Structure 1
């Protein structure tokens, strides 16, 4: 069923155009038959009137019947013409919506290609210069460890960029995730340990998270957590606090930072694709992280939301997942 649904979505424009063509063709055929029948009735009535005797009473009755029939036909023409126009408007509107969706998808793809080209250049150039310097032996021994660590960081940045692009493709193509039960606390600690190997200096305070059994796609959740921590690293400033609780069979993970924050009315704007807050002076990043993260969470049957008390007061991002087997504290 999912394959059929994806095929329908991928070919929506062609299907709508085909439907519009069939509707118009059917209505035109019906209209032609109806008009032909109406002309036939008019000719028959003319013949009947011509054959009538010159009795004024009989002629008046025949004319009255013809007038009543003409009025009924006029009402039918108006009603069916209105249905015809309405169906044409619906088909035109559907084609317009599909065309606009295609146009927006094309624009997103162009922006993604521009972003990818820009973001790839910097780490690739850095790693290339590092390798060339090592090959030439021009790096002092005391600086090698630091520069090699920087090279590893750049390769991690490339890996994360690749994951972001793949996640964006998954989010836009509606590829189905595979949530499975997993204990929340070991999952969080495992992901944070992997994160620590890349950003050893990152301050993440993990508070009480319980040990709820949640329905989660591990790979998708890792992308979400990476994006939230990257966002906090760029805009948060200082320590990031994480804690979780279970409310009404829903596990809620809060990621709090102490950064630039945002006006409460701007929360939804943060989840639009290619949106980026430039107030902090951060020029890196795709503007896709939060958009992708919310899409992935919703595909897992959860959600992602953001709150802030205002600019300069930090932000809280809340990840929500369904509980599979209850709390095991």
Structure 2
């Protein structure tokens, strides 16, 4: 690894022949030698490259070697470059002492000892390579540490998601068991009651009126089971991208009008009332079955959480959209819960246990989104809620 690290060497001398001679002495295939004829030229190279060491001539016109060394020691990028001074001046001038004061690591006198020069350069190049290799290893370790931290964070997030998924699964299975048990219990009780009457040959229990009532009760329980199963199937279709949308032209206002009429028994059972406001036909290309599913869900929720207050339903057009609004005056939804109610298995209620699987609004939002539309909610606690379905009047492409 060390041999792969290229070492750059800087030599500075005002005499070209000295530069060529020194270059020939220290140059090797794994080294790159840069030459400068002045301190200014050397400074430009120092700012551009990273050097393993610098060999400076002391006596140069303009800025001398000592002054260049002091500048290098005062600059962050160059302060740690080993400096070796070279001088032809006599030892009596005490240049070596001044060189060490300027930050040099060694001082050589001309004429140069070839073996000494080569040896010293080899030492500093090896030190540079070792330092560089260690720095690269530290950087690699730091990258590895950051990658491990990131991986750990992702694993923790995945673990949290899995734990949440397990909790949601368990909650969902509990909800399903409860919701399925309710209509089944009704059917079982009805069956047991009829068996008891049959065992006693009680023909009076099977008059035409009573049979009509029995069939109506059975039908309600069966429809409840079918609705639960359809909700679960729709979630599966949504997850696999197989929720089918079959658009055809129809009048949205008429669809909502029919729904409001069909909801009369539920409205009466909730001890509430429901008013519809329309501005005439609102025609567009949508999946009639799916849009009916959405509006039915909103009407059911309005009755469920409306605290027996009147429910207002409005169908109109605005900004190139067909809109259906369902407004109740019940318990309302907090701002935090407004962000949750369109998620799977969320059953938000401020005052009582919610019915259903917590899938209705999730499925409704997916259906409307598949039409290129949106569902909005406006609500405050104890002031009811307004749900608004927005559908493009033009077919979504």
Aligned partners of 2:311, 2:350: CA distance in 1, in Å? 20
- Pair 140,256 (structure 1): closer, same or farther in 2 beyond 3 Å: same
- Pair 55,282 (structure 1): closer, same or farther in 2 beyond 3 Å: closer
Residue 127 of structure 2 is aligned to residue 67 of structure 1 = yes
The aligned counterpart of 2:378 is: 307
Aligned partners of 1:191, 1:161: CA distance in 2, in Å? 19
After TM superposition, give the deviation of residue 321 of structure 1 in Å: 1.9
Residue 167 of structure 2 is aligned to residue 107 of structure 1 = yes
Query: Once the two structures are superposed, what CA deviation does each residue of 1:222-256 show, in whole Å capped at 9, x if it has no partner?
Result: 33222212211211124322113333333321111
Residue 253 of structure 2 is aligned to residue 185 of structure 1 = yes
Give the secondary structure class of the aligned counterpart of 2:331.
coil
* Conserved 8 A contact 2:348-2:354: no
The aligned counterpart of 1:220 is: 290
* Conserved 8 A contact 1:214-1:325: yes
The normalised TM-score by structure 1 is 0.69
Residues matched between the structures, number: 279
Aligned partners of 1:140, 1:233: CA distance in 2, in Å? 33
Give the secondary structure class of the aligned counterpart of 1:241.
strand
Structure with more helix by fraction: 1
The aligned counterpart of 1:6 is: none
Give the secondary structure class of the aligned counterpart of 1:71.
helix
Aligned partners of 2:379, 2:370: CA distance in 1, in Å? 25
Query: Once the two structures are superposed, what CA deviation does each residue of 1:33-87 show, in whole Å capped at 9, x if it has no partner?
Result: xxxx34888xxx9xxxxxxx99333211111222222333333333344344444
* Conserved 8 A contact 1:163-1:223: no
Listed as ranges, the gaps of 5+ residues in structure 2 are 6-27, 29-112
Give the secondary structure class of the aligned counterpart of 2:304.
helix
The aligned counterpart of 1:13 is: none
* Conserved 8 A contact 1:181-1:324: no
Structure with more strand by fraction: 2
The aligned counterpart of 1:234 is: 304
- Pair 282,59 (structure 1): closer, same or farther in 2 beyond 3 Å: closer
The aligned counterpart of 2:316 is: 245
Residue 232 of structure 2 is aligned to residue 162 of structure 1 = no
RMSD (Å), alpha carbons:
3.5
The aligned counterpart of 1:8 is: none
Query: Once the two structures are superposed, what CA deviation does each residue of 1:81-130 show, in whole Å capped at 9, x if it has no partner?
Result: 43444444444444444444343333322222211111112211212222
* Conserved 8 A contact 1:254-1:316: yes
Residue 331 of structure 2 is aligned to residue 260 of structure 1 = yes
Give the secondary structure class of the aligned counterpart of 1:231.
helix
Aligned partners of 1:175, 1:69: CA distance in 2, in Å? 61
Give the secondary structure class of the aligned counterpart of 1:287.
coil
* Conserved 8 A contact 2:284-2:393: yes
Query: Once the two structures are superposed, what CA deviation does each residue of 1:166-220 show, in whole Å capped at 9, x if it has no partner?
Result: 2233344444443625332344345556x44874847432211554444534443
Aligned partners of 1:118, 1:73: CA distance in 2, in Å? 66
* Conserved 8 A contact 1:181-1:213: no
Query: Once the two structures are superposed, what CA deviation does each residue of 1:262-309 show, in whole Å capped at 9, x if it has no partner?
Result: 344542233344433454445532333223322333343322222124
The normalised TM-score by structure 2 is 0.59
* Conserved 8 A contact 2:316-2:322: yes
Answer 1 or 2: higher relative contact order, Cα 8 Å, separation at least 6.
Answer: 1
The aligned counterpart of 1:23 is: none
Aligned partners of 1:280, 1:299: CA distance in 2, in Å? 33
- Pair 177,148 (structure 1): closer, same or farther in 2 beyond 3 Å: closer
